């Protein structure tokens, strides 16, 4: 409109300047009209534009609609766990720091237990609540905070507990009057065993909270389930004594979810494997994370080993256009699916139509967790994408399912295995754990046990993402992520063949599958496993077997830096495998890196090519003078990747011995020396057990 008005002004100005003043008297003398036709036209035009402007400039613009949206009631999540506890009459809150789902599962079990002791509990993700409210917990009578805290990586808190951990470290809250206890989950083979749980327990006490029961220590290298059950059996009587309450004696099964069967639901409203947003696999939108994984096409899937019974593989995932960024040393998380044969067999045994569309709805309407997995969906999708059906079930699952066994002997044994009695623990260890019986095997071996499938789905834990060290550098492969893995397959004591869920699924992900591109749902998990900031620092990498994965990325990056004209320090690799002619992984690539000078030393231990076995720790001792010079005088960084239970420990002992011999230290001094290297970030481990 402004443009039109300016144009009109321009026309008027031109009209005013066009007539010659000398002609005006002549026009009057001839009695012609005072206004010429042109003047009338211009006057009408200006008047019309003026009226148009006066009327329409005041026309309301469509602002009210936006105002309505702005003033609508916001649907924000309630972050006050105190308000929720008061509103729902709860006095026990169980917080969990969980990376793989186990701590969350334990928290749910403890919250459920509270009912048996005349209390009401709720499991809570600290990431979803304002943890600064912990000081208000004393406002609730007979209140208790339980913390199930897993340790991840190098003694770090889990992703969902990071903010809470930071708050404890940085804050100075007054927690007097708050009563608490902690159960820690970890693995003894790791350097920082249960570090997070220990810290939370200590720090809460420092802030004035009252510990009402001793810190529980769960060891996943031993029997985590037994550790938890034993702790729990002693914990609840202590709670009863502290608060002066008695067990109600109710040992019956308590359902958390109710089944709803859908008969006429639109298929577009049904989850088919998505983890968060419905149809997110069809309509991919960044950013990509654990709730919104990217479907990465598989571009390469090749066997790495030349012989032997095992299958070692190299996969490449295309991340073009995803905006995903990664660094050497990061992990790629992939979401596998279960074997359809196992899913179908469970359906057959329980006699159900797996394509029935269902929802499992939380009976607690105030809970943040509305469903145990994305709903509505089908039993088939739940068992294929969402539930862990291949791991051995925990004792609480056996206890809950026991009621459905029609044979009294089966029922008795299932309940016994869920107890803390020595006989029960021994039976669970031998019949379930040592025999690697998953839920299918249990259903097959106990013909009288035929539980409702909806209750089974409620009890089974979620199928978790699998993490792999990325075996590529983003400097060299910005649009591709490489994976190196060994396919897991073994026979159990019962004669069954167990296949690793993720590795067997990945093995079958060929670049083109009947004309369709095979894809892998994935996201990146950041790591502290990083090359030194200064490229001139020497690096010593120790990674036998698939532990070589991150070092392929490291070597690629050091090569790229050299190509950029940067000065790069010594780059030494210690790799180990069984036979040179069978499983020398990435042999051609590594030998080329050595030839071009990117790798200054390639040391390989072939453990079974001679009578006496040779491992990487033996090669370290053989090269002790060179290693000590690099570490002690040249500021070298040491990296270890692979098996935590044996290899990582043996390698660490080798460094202790080198420090003792060449540094003139006692064993205690050598241990302290290596610990200081860890503290300085010069001794890093990416290990698993």
Pairing of the two strands 519-525 and 683-688:
unpaired
Token pair listed for 152: 């991840």
Task: Collect all residues with Cβ–Cβ distance below 8 Å to 349 and sequence separation of at least 6.
Answer: 440, 443, 444, 450
Token pair listed for 421: 């009695």
Look at residues 567, 545, 571 and name the one whose alpha carbon lies nearest to residue 556: 571
Q: Is 643 among the catalytic positions?
A: no
- Quick one: DSSP state of residue 405? B
Q: Is 686 among the catalytic positions?
A: yes
Task: Collect all residues with Cβ–Cβ distance below 8 Å to 241 and sequence separation of at least 6.
Answer: none
- The strand pairing partners of 194, in sequence order, are none
- The strand pairing partners of 112, in sequence order, are none
- In 526-616, which ranges are E strands? 539-542, 571-577, 601-606
Q: Are 281 and 274 in contact (CB under 8 A)?
A: yes
User: Of the listed 53, 167, 628, 688, which one is catalytic?
Assistant: 688
Count CB neighbours of 522 within 10 A: 23
Q: Is 469 among the catalytic positions?
A: yes
User: Of the listed 469, 472, 527, 684, which one is catalytic?
Assistant: 469
Residue with tokens 């300085």: 680
Helix H or strand E encompassing 48: helix 37-56
- Quick one: DSSP state of residue 229? H
Count CB neighbours of 433 within 10 A: 13
Q: Are 212 and 242 in contact (CB under 8 A)?
A: yes
Token pair listed for 197: 């749980």
Distance CA 522, CA 672 (A): 39
User: Of the listed 577, 641, 643, 684, which one is catalytic?
Assistant: 641
Pairing of the two strands 144-152 and 121-124:
unpaired
Q: Are 164 and 125 in contact (CB under 8 A)?
A: no
Token pair listed for 566: 């940067």
Look at residues 655, 620, 640, 654 and name the one whose alpha carbon lies nearest to residue 685: 640
DSSP string, 307-328: SSSS-EEEEEEE-TTS-----T
Distance CA 598, CA 468 (A): 25
User: Of the listed 201, 227, 410, 686, which one is catalytic?
Assistant: 686
Q: Is 641 among the catalytic positions?
A: yes
Task: Collect all residues with Cβ–Cβ distance below 8 Å to 434 and sequence separation of at least 6.
Answer: 493
Query: Across the chain, how many H-helices and E-strands are there?
Result: 24, 25
Count CB neighbours of 489 within 10 A: 15
Look at residues 509, 508, 486, 489 and name the one whose alpha carbon lies nearest to residue 500: 489
Instruction: Kindly compute the dihedral angle of the four CA atoms of residues 677, 682, 683, 687, in this order, to the nearest 10 degrees.
Output: 150
Count CB neighbours of 118 within 10 A: 15
Distance CA 670, CA 663 (A): 8
Q: Are 318 and 299 in contact (CB under 8 A)?
A: yes
Please list the active-site residues: 469, 641, 686, 688
């Amino acid at each position: 409109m402004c443009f039109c008005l300016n144009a009109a002004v321009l026309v008027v100005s031109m009209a005013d300047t066009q007539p010659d003043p000398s002609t005006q008297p002549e026009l009057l003398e001839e009695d012609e009209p005072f206004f010429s036709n042109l003047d009338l036209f211009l006057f009408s035009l200006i008047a019309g534009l003026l009226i148009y402007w006066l009327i329409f400039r005041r026309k309301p613009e469509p602002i009210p609609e936006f105002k309505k949206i702005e003033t609508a009631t916001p649907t924000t999540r309630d972050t006050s766990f105190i308000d929720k506890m008061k509103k729902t009459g709860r006095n026990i809150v169980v917080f969990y720091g969980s990376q793989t789902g186990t701590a969350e599962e334990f928290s749910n079990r403890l919250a459920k237990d509270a009912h048996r002791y005349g209390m009401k509990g709720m499991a809570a993700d600290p990431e979803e609540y304002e943890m600064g409210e912990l000081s208000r917990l004393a406002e609730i009578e007979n209140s208790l905070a339980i913390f199930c805290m897993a340790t991840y990586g190098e003694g770090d808190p889990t992703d969902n507990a990071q903010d809470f951990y930071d708050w404890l470290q940085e804050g100075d809250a007054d927690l007097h009057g708050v009563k608490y206890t902690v159960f820690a989950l970890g693995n003894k083979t790791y350097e920082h065993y249960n570090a997070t749980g220990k810290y939370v327990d200590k720090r809460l006490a420092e802030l004035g909270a009252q510990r009402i029961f001793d810190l529980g220590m769960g060891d996943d290298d031993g029997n985590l389930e037994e550790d938890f059950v034993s702790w729990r059996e002693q914990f609840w009587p202590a709670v009863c004594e502290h608060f002066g309450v008695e067990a109600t004696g109710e040992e019956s099964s308590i359902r958390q979810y109710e089944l709803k069967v859908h008969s006429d639901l639109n298929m577009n409203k049904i989850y088919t494997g998505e983890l968060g947003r419905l149809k997110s696999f069809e309509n991919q939108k960044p950013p990509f994370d654990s709730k919104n994984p990217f479907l990465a096409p598989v571009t390469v899937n090749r066997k790495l080993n030349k012989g032997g019974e095992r299958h070692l593989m190299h996969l490449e995932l295309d991340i073009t256009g995803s905006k995903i960024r990664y660094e050497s040393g990061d992990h790629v998380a992939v979401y596998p699916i279960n074997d359809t044969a196992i899913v179908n067999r469970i359906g057959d045994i329980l006699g159900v139509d797996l394509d029935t569309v269902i929802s499992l709805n939380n009976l607690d309407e105030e809970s943040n967790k509305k469903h145990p997995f994305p709903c509505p969906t089908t039993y088939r999708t739940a068992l294929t994408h969402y539930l862990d059906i291949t791991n051995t079930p925990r004792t609480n699952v056996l206890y809950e399912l026991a009621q459905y066994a029609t044979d009294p002997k089966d029922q008795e044994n299932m309940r016994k295995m869920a107890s803390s009695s020595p006989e029960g623990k021994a039976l669970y260890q031998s019949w379930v754990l040592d025999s690697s019986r998953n839920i299918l095997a249990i259903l097959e071996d106990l013909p009288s046990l035929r539980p409702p499938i909806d209750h089974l789905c409620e009890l089974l834990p979620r199928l978790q993402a699998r993490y792999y060290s990325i075996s590529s550098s983003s400097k060299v492969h910005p649009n591709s992520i490489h994976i190196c893995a060994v396919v897991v397959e073994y026979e159990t004591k019962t004669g069954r063949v167990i296949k690793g869920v993720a590795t067997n699924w990945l093995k079958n992900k060929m670049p083109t599958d009947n004309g369709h591109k095979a894809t892998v749902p994935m996201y990146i998990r950041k790591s502290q496993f990083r090359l030194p900031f200064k490229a001139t620092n020497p690096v010593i990498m120790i990674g036998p077997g698939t532990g070589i994965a991150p070092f392929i990325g490291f070597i690629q990056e050091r090569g790229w830096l050299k190509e950029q004209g940067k000065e790069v320090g010594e780059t030494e690799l210690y790799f180990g495998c069984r036979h040179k002619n069978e499983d020398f992984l990435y042999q051609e690539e590594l030998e080329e890196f050595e030839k071009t000078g990117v790798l200054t030393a390639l040391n390989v231990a072939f453990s079974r090519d001679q009578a006496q076995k040779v491992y990487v720790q033996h090669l370290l001792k053989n090269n002790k003078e060179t290693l000590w010079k690099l570490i002690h005088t040249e500021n070298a960084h040491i990296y270890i990747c692979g098996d935590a239970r044996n290899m990582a420990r043996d390698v660490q002992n080798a460094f202790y011995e080198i420090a003792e011999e060449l540094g003139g230290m006692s064993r205690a001094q050598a241990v302290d020396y290596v610990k200081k290297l860890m503290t300085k970030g010069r001794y890093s481990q990416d290990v698993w057990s």
